[in-house]
């Protein structure tokens, strides 16, 4: 029996989500390759682009109607960024490299839509993504436990919280929809939540919480006839997660102390949270000074020190190299500062189409037996919303999940057309 190469590529792509943003302070820092002044390529991006180029070459460059809208929105974003560089008062040639990011996103979406238009490929991807999420979660908890809470639980990647949130959401949906899988799905959810907490990544915690809340809201709305089952599942899982947190707090006081400190820092505006306020202050001031086309795509990190401020917030950190300079950590403000109103208009189109795609998938999912595309649609929605405090919807992992949902919708549409041609509709 010959194994389908597309199944191997799909699983490989799922596993590679483990390497989205390799930690630059750990064992796997070599998985990130700096390219030029602040730009780099992770193993995940290299694998994802390679896989999707292979798919496009093998299956042909096919863009269906639902995909055209999101690609058109991405093209508008790309144009607004190119214009911003051309019209910027201060720019460097390497800023044009920032445009490659959006070209890569288009390749990932189109290629993934073709790859995941077959259910077996989607299943293989989910298996790979599950391996990635559990590896990071278990490894992260092991690091935290072995260091008595002194080290952050990041095994491979700081950005693995996206795949962890995806699989956690999938576990919740499976536990609610398939009674026979409540225990393994609940156990998987608890392990992954433990991994997210061990990582001490606030963005990951917020994304996981938001995704699970959206999933539970979706279930409560779509399964109104099973309210008691929903209450049981939700209450049981909440108890398990609360128990995990209590055990961690009691057995590892340092872990509980660090989590408490990071939460208090968020409320008091200290540490890395203060750094975000500092970056947002400069981004907002840059937008007000250059409101039409901004300071140029990729210009924020390069011009950060010379940008104006509105509120005079001081940075708690000192940077000596442009490659160390952080981005805005707020996609909306980043778009505003770098591309102005022109870029914000293009982003608004992109954001609207992403929301419509997610909502459409959730509506279709109510009558589908497949759960993974629903989890992916919920993650798209959560990542898009996270643009207001982080950078979610232009991540490569977001593009893969968008292609996953579009591939599923492509298959459903093809099945409906075949059904119609055979005279059943």
* pLDDT over threshold 60, residue 321: no
- The pLDDT, as a whole number, for residue 424 is 41
- The pLDDT, as a whole number, for residue 416 is 72
Rounded to whole angstroms, the Cα distance separating 292 from 72 reads 21
User: How far from chain centre, in Å, is Cα 51?
Assistant: 19
- Tens digit of pLDDT for each residue in 37-80? 556 667 777 778 888 888 888 877 777 777 889 999 999 999 99
- Tens digit of pLDDT for each residue in 67-116? 889 999 999 999 999 999 999 888 777 778 778 888 888 888 999 999 99
Higher pLDDT, residue 107 or 322: 107
Average pLDDT score over the chain: 82
- The pLDDT, as a whole number, for residue 250 is 58
* pLDDT over threshold 80, residue 170: yes
Angle between helices 396-421 and 65-87 in degrees, nearest 10:
150
Average pLDDT over residues 182-210: 87
Band of the pLDDT at 36, cuts 50, 70, 90? low
Higher pLDDT, residue 406 or 417: 406
Rounded to whole angstroms, the Cα distance separating 306 from 296 reads 14
- The pLDDT, as a whole number, for residue 31 is 66
Write the burial class of residue 71 (CB in 10 Å: 0-12 exposed, 13-18 middle, 19+ buried). middle
User: Tokens at residue 72, please?
Assistant: 């058109």
- Tens digit of pLDDT for each residue in 350-400? 999 999 999 999 999 888 889 999 999 999 999 999 999 888 888 889 999
Band of the pLDDT at 302, cuts 50, 70, 90? confident
Burial state string for 111-143 with b = 16 or more CB within 10 A and e = fewer than 16: bbbbbbbbeebbbbbbebbbbbbbbbbbbbbeb
* Contact in structure between 344 and 294 (CB atoms under 8 Å): no
Q: What percent of the chain has pLDDT over 90?
A: 35
CA distances from 46 to 50, 189, 251, 341 (A): 6, 29, 40, 32
**32 — phi, psi (to 5°)?**
-115, 125
Query: Who contacts 7 (Cβ-Cβ below 8 Å, separation ≥6)?
Result: 120, 121, 124
* pLDDT over threshold 60, residue 169: yes
């Amino acid at each position: 029996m010959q194994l389908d190469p597309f199944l191997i590529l799909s699983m490989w792509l799922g596993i590679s989500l483990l390497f989205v943003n390799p930690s630059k302070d750990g064992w796997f820092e070599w998985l990130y390759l700096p390219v030029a002044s602040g730009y780099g390529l992770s193993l995940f991006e290299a694998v994802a682009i390679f896989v999707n180029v292979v798919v496009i070459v093998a299956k042909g460059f096919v863009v269906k109607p639902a995909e055209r809208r999101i690609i058109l929105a991405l093209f508008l974003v790309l144009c607004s960024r190119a214009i911003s560089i051309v019209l910027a008062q201060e720019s460097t040639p390497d800023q044009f490299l920032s445009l490659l990011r959006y070209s890569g996103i288009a390749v990932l979406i189109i290629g993934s839509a073709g790859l995941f238009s077959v259910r077996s490929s989607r299943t293989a991807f989910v298996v790979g993504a599950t391996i990635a999420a559990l590896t990071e979660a278990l490894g992260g908890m092991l690091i935290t436990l072995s260091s008595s809470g002194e080290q952050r639980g990041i095994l491979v990647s700081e950005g693995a919280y996206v795949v962890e949130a995806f699989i956690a959401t999938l576990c919740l949906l499976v536990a609610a929809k398939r009674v026979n899988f409540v225990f393994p799905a609940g156990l998987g959810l608890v392990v992954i939540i433990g991994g997210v907490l061990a990582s001490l990544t606030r963005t990951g915690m917020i994304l996981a919480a938001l995704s699970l809340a959206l999933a539970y809201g979706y279930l409560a709305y779509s399964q109104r006839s099973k309210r008691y089952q929903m209450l049981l599942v939700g209450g049981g899982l909440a108890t398990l997660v609360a128990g995990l947190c209590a055990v961690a707090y009691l057995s590892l006081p340092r872990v509980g102390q660090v989590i408490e400190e990071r939460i208090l820092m968020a409320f008091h505006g200290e540490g890395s949270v203060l750094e975000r306020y500092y970056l947002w202050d400069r981004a907002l001031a840059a937008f007000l000074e250059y409101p039409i086309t901004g300071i140029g795509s990729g210009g924020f990190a390069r011009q950060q020190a010379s940008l104006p401020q509105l509120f005079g917030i001081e940075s708690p950190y000192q940077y000596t190299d442009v490659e160390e300079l952080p981005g805005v950590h707020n996609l909306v403000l980043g778009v505003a500062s770098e591309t102005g109103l022109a870029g914000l208009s293009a982003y608004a189109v992109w954001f609207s189409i992403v929301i419509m795609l997610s909502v459409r998938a959730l509506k279709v999912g109510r009558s589908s037996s497949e759960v993974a595309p629903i989890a992916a649609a919920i993650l798209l929605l959560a990542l898009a919303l996270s643009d207001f405090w982080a950078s979610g919807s232009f991540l490569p992992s977001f593009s893969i999940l968008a292609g996953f949902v579009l591939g599923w919708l492509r298959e459903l549409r093809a099945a409906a057309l075949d059904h119609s041609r055979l005279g059943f509709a």
